[in-house]
Amino acid sequence: MVKIKQKYDVTIIGSGLSGSTCAIRCAQLGLKTLCIDNLLSSDSNKVDPGIFSNPGSLSTIALLESAKIYESILNEINLHGIYVDNLMLNLSQMIQRKDSVINSINQNLTKQFNNYKIDFIHAKSKILNSSTIEIIAPTSLKYKYINSEHIVLATESIPISISCAPIDNEFILDSIASFDITEVPKRLAILGAGVIGLEIAGIWNRMGAETILLDAQETFLGLTDHQISREAYQIFTAQGLELRLGTRIISTKVSNKKVMIEYQDSYGTHAIRVDKLIVASGRKPNSDHIAAPEANLLLDENGFIHINDIYRTNLPNVYAIGDLTLLGPMLAHKGIAEGVFVAEQISGIQSSPIDYGKMPNVIYTEPEIAWVGQTEQTIKAMGDQVNIGVYPINRNPKGIATNKINGLIKIISCVKSDSILGIHIIANNASELIAEATLAMEFSANSEDIKNTIHPYPSLVDSLRDAINSIIEKH
- The rounded distance, in Å, linking the Cα atoms of 320 and 347 is 16
What pLDDT is stored for residue 56 in this prediction? 76
Q: What is the CATH number of the domain that holds 181?
A: 3.50.50.60
Interacting residues of 18 by C-beta distance below 8 A, sequence separation 6+: 154, 156, 321, 322, 323, 332, 335, 336, 338, 339
Q: What is the CATH number of the domain that holds 449?
A: 3.30.390.30
Q: How far is CA 322 from CA 106, 128, 159, 223, 431, in A?
A: 19, 21, 15, 20, 20
What pLDDT is stored for residue 1 in this prediction? 41
- The rounded distance, in Å, linking the Cα atoms of 445 and 447 is 7
21 and 130 in a single domain? The answer is yes
Torsion of CA 420, 424, 425, 431, to 10 degrees: 80
User: Is residue 163 situated within a structural domain?
Assistant: no
396 and 441 in a single domain? The answer is yes
277 and 293 in a single domain? The answer is no
CA atoms within 13 A on the CB side of 32: 10
- The rounded distance, in Å, linking the Cα atoms of 190 and 174 is 10
Burial 213-246 (b: 16+ CB within 10 A, else e): bbbeeeebbeebbebbbebbbebbeebebebebe
- The rounded distance, in Å, linking the Cα atoms of 21 and 335 is 8
User: Is residue 131 situated within a structural domain?
Assistant: yes
DSSP strand pairing (386-392 vs 283-285): unpaired
**Cβ burial, residue 59 (10 Å; 0-12/13-18/19+):** buried
**What is the span of the domain harbouring residue 234?**
172-281
180 and 245 in a single domain? The answer is yes
What pLDDT is stored for residue 38 in this prediction? 85
Q: How far is CA 87 from CA 77, 83, 181, 377, in A?
A: 12, 10, 20, 46
Give the global pTM: 0.94
Peptide bond into 138 cis (omega under 30): yes
Please give the tally of structural domains in the chain.
3
132 and 215 in a single domain? The answer is no
What pLDDT is stored for residue 2 in this prediction? 45
User: Is residue 164 situated within a structural domain?
Assistant: no
- The rounded distance, in Å, linking the Cα atoms of 33 and 79 is 55
- The rounded distance, in Å, linking the Cα atoms of 210 and 437 is 36
Mean pLDDT, 10 residues at a time, the chain of 475 residues = 69 94 97 88 44 73 96 94 95 95 89 94 93 84 87 95 95 95 97 97 98 97 97 98 97 97 97 98 95 97 97 98 94 96 96 95 97 96 93 97 96 94 97 96 93 94 93 64
User: Is residue 353 situated within a structural domain?
Assistant: no
Interacting residues of 242 by C-beta distance below 8 A, sequence separation 6+: 210, 211, 212, 213
What pLDDT is stored for residue 340 in this prediction? 98
203 and 253 in a single domain? The answer is yes
- The rounded distance, in Å, linking the Cα atoms of 134 and 122 is 13
230 and 308 in a single domain? The answer is no
What pLDDT is stored for residue 45 in this prediction? 42
92 and 109 in a single domain? The answer is yes
240 and 270 in a single domain? The answer is yes
21 and 145 in a single domain? The answer is yes
CA dihedral for 366, 436, 225, 61, sign (positive or negative): positive
User: Is residue 204 situated within a structural domain?
Assistant: yes
Per the CB < 8 A criterion, the answer to whether 346 and 376 are in contact is: no
Q: Which of 281, 300, 326 is the last residue of a domain?
A: 281
216 and 144 in a single domain? The answer is no
Peptide bond into 367 cis (omega under 30): yes
- The rounded distance, in Å, linking the Cα atoms of 315 and 127 is 11
Per the CB < 8 A criterion, the answer to whether 7 and 148 are in contact is: yes
Starting at the edge strand that comes first in sequence, how are the strands of the sheet with 248-255 ordered?
248-255, 258-265, 268-274
What pLDDT is stored for residue 146 in this prediction? 93
User: Is residue 166 situated within a structural domain?
Assistant: no
Q: How far is CA 116 from CA 25, 33, 419, in A?
A: 9, 9, 42
User: Is residue 1 situated within a structural domain?
Assistant: no
183 and 116 in a single domain? The answer is no
User: Is residue 412 situated within a structural domain?
Assistant: yes
Per the CB < 8 A criterion, the answer to whether 55 and 20 are in contact is: no
* Amino acid of residue 92: S
